[in-house]
Amino acid sequence: MRLTWPEVSARRLARNHLAAPAADPARISADVLGIHAQVMSAAEMSICVRTKDKNRSDVRDALWRAKTLVKSRGPRGTVHLLAAEDLPMWTGALSALPHGRSPFPDGVRMTAEQTDQVVEAIADALAAEDGELTVDELNDAIVQRTGAWAGERVMEAFQDKWPRWRQVENVAANRGALCFGPDRGRRTTYTSPGRWLPGFAPAPAEQALAELVRRFLHAYGPATSAQFARWLGSPPGWTAELFDRLPGLETVDFEGSPAVINKGDRGGADAAAGLRLLPYFDAYGIGSHPRSLLFPGRAADRALNGGQAGNIPLLLIDGEVGGVWHQKRSGKKIAVTVEPLTDLTAKQRKALDAEVGRIGQILEGTPTLTIGEITVGAHA
């Protein structure tokens, strides 16, 4: 079977709800396999651009009131908005990933036994408390349950020192011991995933990994095991072995190179057309490969940061990156600057005006559009 870039691009856009809008923020997160949420305004936009009429308030309602979204750790250990119903899959898969040697030096590095003690203490503290705990409150609860060693401020972090236990915060999230609660003022809080999904427990590892691979290939396939490993943050060799042993996969010719799809997934879509503005860290740019086809020609130099996708917002034209953009907010005013890499047609310019208007609706502000060079650097 041979698949071409135009047909793959079209079906990816449809399955990522960039050509076929959805109504439910949780459904969107589930279908694109998580919304990067290190920058919450970008996460809100990533969800809302895939709907017809949702705004950032709707995303916040889904997260904090309806609890159909949950803020936790996702692919690559980064903060994501995940569909709450997918938590068993995510924790089952992420907790199964092999880990290399800890980067922390002797005297700071925690042992496997200490890690287990801290994760158990976190789970117990967050399940026992009626509410959410700040870092300092959680620190006290962990020390009370494990000993003073867990709270020793030995970790170098941002010109400060963090308590020892924080080196396994990601591990605790991956095992399902914690997720993020609503901010208390400017302070982050943690809480139990069971508050989002009563009766929550991580799914069995092999079942969770198989489901994650299947859904990734549905949204972003054809793909290689190396591309999946890059997206997930897993060791390439381990990931290749995972692909080899999973049933239900098949290899196809994708523009002259072998890649993997779910067996029998011949589903297509109409040719990709239209113009879209995608924010920082949007799932489509991060998950789609090969980069040479999504970021053709000058787009690779302008929209990739050292080969890394996500650090620069994308202007998508007919399924390919055709420029970059930036927005700066001041009160209710939102200044949007767009840098196309080619001249826009009258139809494309009209579509761009509509996209900028939609950004204003999403962010609940008044946008203005400037066509010109982007001078702001990539997001860290």
Encoded tokens for 209: 């990994």
Query: Which tens digits make up the pLDDT trace of 118-147?
Result: 999 999 999 986 779 999 999 999 999 999
DSSP of 334-354 = EEEEEEESSPPPHHHHHHHHH
- Pairing type for strands 2-3 and 249-254 reads parallel
CA angle 188, 185, 159 (to 5 degrees): 50
- Between helices 5-15 and 205-220, what is the axis angle to 10°? 120
For the full predicted model, state whether its pTM sits above 0.85.
Answer: yes
Widest pairwise Cα distance in the chain: 67
Taking only the tens place, the pLDDT of each residue in 312-342 is 999 999 999 999 999 999 999 999 999 999 9
Q: Count Cβ atoms within 10 A of the Cβ of residue 124 and give its class: 0-12 exposed, 13-18 middle, 19 or more buried.
A: middle
pLDDT band with cut points at 50, 70 and 90 for residue 114: very high
Domain assignments of the chain as residue spans, ordered by start: 7-195, 275-371
| β-strand partners of 133 | 190
List the alpha helices (DSSP H) in the chain.
5-15, 25-32, 40-48, 56-60, 87-94, 112-128, 135-146, 169-174, 205-220, 225-232, 236-245, 283-287, 291-294, 298-303, 346-363
What is the C-alpha to C-alpha distance for residues 297 and 207, in angstroms, rounded to an integer? 40
Rounded-to-integer distance, Cα 162 and Cα 361, Å? 40
Q: Using one digit for the tens of pLDDT, what is the confidence trace for 264-308? A: 998 777 877 799 999 999 999 999 999 999 999 999 999 998 888
* Cα–Cα nearest to 224, from 284, 281, 292, 288: 288
The pLDDT, as a whole number, for residue 295 is: 97
